[in-house]
Amino acid sequence: MGERPRTGRAAAGAGHGPVILAAGAVLWLPGRPKKSGRLGRPRIALVHRPKYDDWSLPKGKLEAGEGMAEAALREVREETGFHCLLGPELPTQHYRVQGRPKEVRYWAAVPSSGSFRPNREVDRLEWLPAGKARARLTHDQDRLLVDALLAVLGAEPVRAAGAGPVKERWK
């Protein structure tokens, strides 16, 4: 999976102080079968974090000695209750948190077992079609990951002109 050898919570940044390292996944399910025999739109798991009152994708910081893919699997399990299988890597996000640089690596992932139970970090989980997931996500950078997943799956989001809701066309 192209795992980079990184360990611990932070790596040295280029003159910016320690980089916060984190990993996560865009957890998705194939759509329900239609009468035509084709699958419907994929559904994406979003988590609600009461601490921030936001809708996000499962992710979190690396623990000491942990690799990125290992952290992604653990974070998905802790936040959603699902064990998952990692698929293709999605774009890495870089942003600042309280003045510190943060790097978050993401993978596409499908659940293999488990079930959601509200916990200290996440009080709700919803499986939504991509357009509704994009609308519900609090942070713009998370919407880019939904688009990246759709590209990996061979689906292309089509946006109407203006600020209207996202419309999707599936190949």
Quick: pLDDT tens for 63-72.
Answer: 999 999 999 9
Residue type, 133: A
Q: In which element (H, E) is residue 95 found?
A: strand 82-97
pLDDT tens track for 37-91: 877 789 999 999 999 999 999 999 999 999 999 999 999 999 999 999 999 999 9
Record the pTM.
0.80
- Measured CA to CA, the distance from residue 135 to residue 115 in angstroms comes to 24
**What gap in Å lies between CA 165 and CA 171, rounded to an integer?**
20
